[in-house]
Amino acid sequence: MAESDGIALLRTIPDATIARLPLYLRTLTTLADAGHDTVSSQALAEAAGVNPAQLRKDLSHLGSYGVRGVGYDVAHLQASIGAQIGSAQEWPVVIVGMGNLGTALARYSGYAVRGFRVVALVDVASDLIGQQVQLATTSLEISPESALESVLARFPAAMVVLTTPVEVAQQVCDRVVAAGVRSILSFAPVLLQVPDGVVLRTVDLGRELQILAYHQSRHAEIGGDDRKEIW
Amino acid sequence: MAESDGIALLRTIPDATIARLPLYLRTLTTLADAGHDTVSSQALAEAAGVNPAQLRKDLSHLGSYGVRGVGYDVAHLQASIGAQIGSAQEWPVVIVGMGNLGTALARYSGYAVRGFRVVALVDVASDLIGQQVQLATTSLEISPESALESVLARFPAAMVVLTTPVEVAQQVCDRVVAAGVRSILSFAPVLLQVPDGVVLRTVDLGRELQILAYHQSRHAEIGGDDRKEIW
DNA sequence: TAGATTGTTAATCGATTAACAATC
DNA sequence: TAGATTGTTAATCGATTAACAATC
């Protein structure tokens, strides 16, 4: 359904491209800070560590923003990528689970530039509740997990970052979903069950290490295949 | 070079398969804990959230461990996946940058089961140096960053987890590489430069949120495409 | 043997990349 | 105009998946 022309056009951007847009945005920010007004696909691709043809193909999905013979306008490209991945707006984020990982994520100072704002912190530990966590520009008080539903009710469009212990991740996830949250970023090393329509993304830090270990052992055995970066 | 038959065989495992093996291993651990001795590709695939044909194809790269008409032996499969990705051995890991994120990673208690052991912690902050960090089974003292080289010299096969501020990530990375480390997991939102032969993997937590935001905005516009999990 | 399930083939699908016409 | 660089085409490559013969 909803296959009107405009929307169908938006939908044609491949997932692989979407996954690279944040990388381009980050690279563009560096270039802008260095005073570049314009950049060629060659230069931007090299700075981002991708193939120039791939970069141009990726950008072509956003529309035609480059100028032949010249390159891309840095500020314009930042704006259009930002608009595309939705970091032009500011998404409210609620973090559930204020252990070291949750605290690290809360204190991460790059949200503003990336389209997010941490608006609430939740934990179950009685010694944490009420504590103030110093963020980049403000500070937030940790709310009790019993108030999870009322906290989420105050921020209807919230995305939730789940940094609870793995044992309770599923039940907290269920409550978050029941409260109407449609997007969850989980750090619990377990496959969470969510209903259709909820977007779940899982970052498993142990998995990242294991993939690295695999390449390390390949390396040790074979003695270098000139592989530099793996995404 | 080194294209002998045995090694060439090992090298044929696709990266996409490697990236899923930790997921299978995690799922198998859950199944083993639940008392399953044997599991079909159908059941394992469902538990891991992948297509059964894909699972069988992935496992076929490890050799033939299944039994037709029966399924896979859980313990045997755990062992062979573990052997393949190198989590049968125990890799020493050094964490550089003991902020909240570094501390969270140091305290993560799942290393033993996943093939890692945190053997040293390094930071530059004078108030952190010498502090004991309580790990799952032991505790470790934070070493000064000036001792980075001597710390790494004591653990020659070390993988390094880089959780420093983004501003110093490249220079710390350089020192780590100079000290002979060949595998780095970085959490700094910047594209690090490493020489050929060094394997670098970058986890950019802001990027994860941005990709989620994209799908969230698609969702809001189009009203559900029944997408559940995105890897 | 009958039923179940693997391992593999072949078809499909999507992503990457080189090449170049379009055009600034 | 001449040089540079995009946007797009078409070829290649790799990954996914359905289907089924092999076989426990």
Q: What is the mean pLDDT of each run of 10 residues along chain A (231 residues)?
A: 37 90 96 97 97 98 92 96 88 96 92 90 96 92 97 87 96 97 95 92 94 83 45 34
Residue A220, pLDDT score: 62
Angle subtended by helix axes A15-33 and A41-48, to nearest 10 = 100
Residue A11, pLDDT score: 55
The pairing of strands A71-73 and A66-67 is antiparallel
Q: Does strand C come within 7 Å of the CB of B67?
A: yes
Residue B211: pLDDT over 50: yes
**CB contact, 8 Å: B91 with chain A?**
yes
How far is Cα A210 from Cα A101, in angstroms, rounded to an integer?
A: 19
Binary contact (B213, A25; C-beta < 8 A): no
DSSP A147: G
CA distances from residue B175 to A94, A228, B10, B162 in whole angstroms, order as listed: 37, 17, 32, 12
Q: pTM for the full model?
A: 0.91
Closest-CA distance of chain A to residue B78, Å:
14
The answer to whether the beta carbons of residues B90 and B114 sit under 8 Å apart is: no
Residue B24: pLDDT over 90: yes
How far is Cα A48 from Cα B187, in angstroms, rounded to an integer?
A: 16
Mean per-residue pLDDT, B139-159: 92
Q: Does strand D come within 7 Å of the CB of B16?
A: yes
Mean per-residue pLDDT, B199-212: 94
Residue B156, pLDDT score: 75
Binary contact (A161, B25; C-beta < 8 A): no
How far is Cα A75 from Cα A31, in angstroms, rounded to an integer?
A: 10
Of the pLDDT bands very low, low, confident and very high (cuts 50, 70, 90), residue B217 is: confident
**B91, B189, B230 member nearest A201 (Cβ):** B230
Read off the pLDDT of residues B102-120 as tens digits, 9 standing for 90 and up.
Answer: 999 999 988 888 899 999 9
